[in-house]
Structure 1
């Protein structure tokens, strides 16, 4: 999986591409730490438009991000979600935990 962190005036964005599974754990965790350090006070967006697959470990990683962001008083939104990725998030009821667009 590829990760990219960008910080703009209104929000910090973590862009993901490829398979979001357990193999991406270390890379995702490092990207989250970088994102939270660079984005003081900003909302956090996870851009998932290029994610082709995610599994239960990816769901756990998203929950970890949510917990860390909440501890820093920041909201997390999942954006660019579609196809199979959207189905997995819907089945897991993630719309109750995240804003999903």
Structure 2
């Protein structure tokens, strides 16, 4: 599991790339990815193209990011979801909380 944090050149958007299993073992690394940036982004992109698995703790981590980013006004996109990942997000009704593409 690898988590990479990539701020945009203007600092307005933060892309977090998650590779491998997104589970409780990623908790601290995921949190560091958005808390340890020099500026506060206006929007977030979570790139799941290389995410092979996610569990309920990963869903919880996404909710913590949403709270950190402003709750209902947060702009967070979940991109490049594989079918299994997208199914878990759909079952959890996350399309009502995040933009999923």
Q: Settle same-fold status: TM greater than 0.5.
A: yes
Q: TM-score, normalising length from structure 2?
A: 0.87
Q: Which residue of 1 aligns with 2:21?
A: 19
- Structure 1: 4+ residue segments shifted above 3 A: none
Q: State whether residues 54 and 85 of structure 1, in contact with CA within 8 Å, keep that contact through their aligned partners in structure 2.
A: yes
Q: Which moved more, 1:6-15 or 1:22-31?
A: 6-15
Q: State whether residues 12 and 45 of structure 1, in contact with CA within 8 Å, keep that contact through their aligned partners in structure 2.
A: yes
Q: List gaps (5 residues or longer) in structure 2.
A: none
How has the CA–CA distance of structure 1 residues 39 and 84 changed in structure 2, closer, same or farther, with 3 Å as cutoff?
Answer: farther
Q: List gaps (5 residues or longer) in structure 1.
A: none
Q: TM-score, normalising length from structure 1?
A: 0.87
Q: Where is the helix percentage greater, Structure 1 or Structure 2?
A: 1
Aligned residues: 98
Q: State whether residues 23 and 58 of structure 2, in contact with CA within 8 Å, keep that contact through their aligned partners in structure 1.
A: yes
CA offsets per residue over residues 66-85 of structure 1, 9 Å max, x none?
A: 000116x6411111112100
CA offsets per residue over residues 23-68 of structure 1, 9 Å max, x none?
A: 111111111212xx33434311110111000000000000000000
